[in-house]
A = this chain, B = another copy of it.
């Protein structure tokens, strides 16, 4: 528990449940002294920055492992549809692990986090533009709106999980069907 990486993991786990936890609370939950925590992170912002960067690298990893850039470039409807579904399934799983990082305003106010978020967001906008072009997404929507809508459904997923309102097993299908087809009968 004394490595920087272990501390970030423990901090994230605690912040997922208590988003407003202080560094003292986090140290206590992680079972380390405040001195140990401060040796690695001079301030709460430093710790948030590390959590934010890790969460963004996870997002970048999902974009990569699902071949999002290649699917975007291909313009192929079937490929784009498969990629969209796989991305959402993977992000749903991590919406719980990265619950805190998904929505914390203080974290996104940190300059380098905001900039990297924009970068990854723009890649996703390009992907949804290709999806629109290929007829995977219905006309009348815009790529930027679809990108925000996919974020919104992940926030819904995170809220439903943290309140214990959905079974973890059901979440990927709920998220995917709601995002793709809505809630209307």
Chain A residues within CB distance 8 Å of chain B: 18-20, 103-106, 109, 135-142, 144-146, 148-157, 159-160, 163, 165-166, 174, 177-185
Contact = CB atoms under 8 A, between A and B. Distances in A.
B155 A151 contact: yes
Contact of A182 (B145, B151, B179): B179
Nearest to A164: B144
B185 A106 contact: no
Contact of A178 (B109, B151, B182): B182
Q: SS class of chain A's interface: helix, strand, loop or mixed?
A: helix
A165 B137 contact: no
Nearest to A154: B152
A141 B165 CA distance: 12
A105 B19 contact: yes
A106 B20 contact: yes
